[in-house]
Amino acid sequence: MPDYRDDLRLAHVLADAADAATMERFKALDLKVETKPDMTPVSEADKAAEELIRGHLQRARPRDAILGEEYGIEGTGPRRWVVDPIDGTKNYVRGVPVWATLISLTEAGEGGYQPVVGVVSAPALGRRWWAAKGHGAFSGRSLSSASRLHVSRVSKLSDASFAYSSLSGWEDQGRLDGFLDLTRAVWRTRGYGDFWPYMMVAEGSIDICAEPELSLWDMAANAIVVTEAGGSFTGLDGRPGPHSGNAAASNGVLHDELLGYLNQRY
């Protein structure tokens, strides 16, 4: 099995740089925010963080391709870094601390590029999570000061905690009835949103989560952290990995039931 520890160390360096840039502008009164063609917001901090990460990668890994939310794809080859400079921009621009930089290394393989390294850094929460293929998932302040993550062992949906982002996306896709049935079947629901539910699945504090519409950069880092923590990460179609345009994550035991509810009457 390839050793991805050098790439993981680099991803931490990238996250450190991004954290410094994004925290400097967090809650800034003069923060500039624009609306993209898809009507989602983008701040000057999103752009600056991605430019910073791209610059580091072009120096450290010049042969690798880069795919980012703000500036698209650059380069070709079997290795591709996938970057979301600020996952949770709407929170960021309103001063809510639930946002993170997502950095993943993906490699060409069966079924497309698959994540092999992931770092999720949420500096306003003081939290960071990471994983490398075959080496497990961890959380902590640094590579040398970390705790290994493992998903929960909850085996009954009636005992499970379910996290989601919003209702509107489920309704737009015609999946709202199944979603609501799921919320009635579980023990507890909370709308944490964005990257955070996936990290909580990985660390075992919740058991299932799902989102109806996502891009690759929203999912790649989350996917490797969840799976290396012993969980399952698929699309709503059940296809493993971050390539279905939506996501379902669980402790593995509850995954089939999660998908069953979200696909019923669909």
The domain that holds 126 is classified in CATH as: 3.30.540.10
Closest by Cα among 220, 227, 235, 201 to 102: 220
Domain-terminating residue out of 143, 166, 182: 143
**84 marked ligand binding residue:** yes
Write down the residue that tokens 């497309």 correspond to: 112
| DSSP for 193-261, written as a single string | -TTHHHHHHHHTS--EEEESS--HHHHHHHHHHHHHTT-EEE-TT--BSS-SSSEEEE-STTHHHHHHH
Residues 8, 38 within the same domain: yes
* Domain count across the chain: 2
pLDDT score, position 83: 97
Q: Are 216 and 82 contacting, i.e. CB atoms less than 8 angstroms apart?
A: yes
Is 266 a member of any domain?
A: no
Residues 7, 138 within the same domain: yes
Residues 137, 184 within the same domain: no
pLDDT score, position 24: 87
**206 marked ligand binding residue:** no
Domain-terminating residue out of 108, 143, 178: 143
Residues 23, 125 within the same domain: yes
Residues 193, 251 within the same domain: yes
| pLDDT tens per residue across all 266 residues of the chain | 678 999 999 999 999 999 999 998 787 766 777 765 555 666 788 888 999 999 999 999 999 999 998 899 999 999 999 999 999 988 888 889 999 999 999 999 887 899 999 999 999 999 999 999 999 999 998 888 899 999 999 999 999 999 998 888 999 989 999 999 999 999 999 999 899 999 999 999 999 999 999 999 999 999 999 999 999 999 999 999 999 999 999 999 999 999 999 998 65
Cβ atoms within 10 A of the Cβ of 130, count?
Answer: 27
Q: Are 172 and 117 contacting, i.e. CB atoms less than 8 angstroms apart?
A: no
Is 148 a member of any domain?
A: no
Is 7 a member of any domain?
A: yes
pTM: 0.94
Residues 257, 184 within the same domain: yes
**87 marked ligand binding residue:** yes
**218 marked ligand binding residue:** yes
Residues 136, 188 within the same domain: no
Residues 185, 224 within the same domain: yes
* Domain coverage including residue 218: 155-261
Residues 139, 164 within the same domain: no
Domain with residue 230: its CATH number is 3.40.190.80
Is 149 a member of any domain?
A: no
**Gap between the Cα atoms of 140 and 149, Å rounded:** 10
Residues 15, 129 within the same domain: yes
Q: Are 55 and 98 contacting, i.e. CB atoms less than 8 angstroms apart?
A: no
**69 marked ligand binding residue:** yes
Is 52 a member of any domain?
A: yes
Residues 197, 256 within the same domain: yes
Residues 216, 250 within the same domain: yes
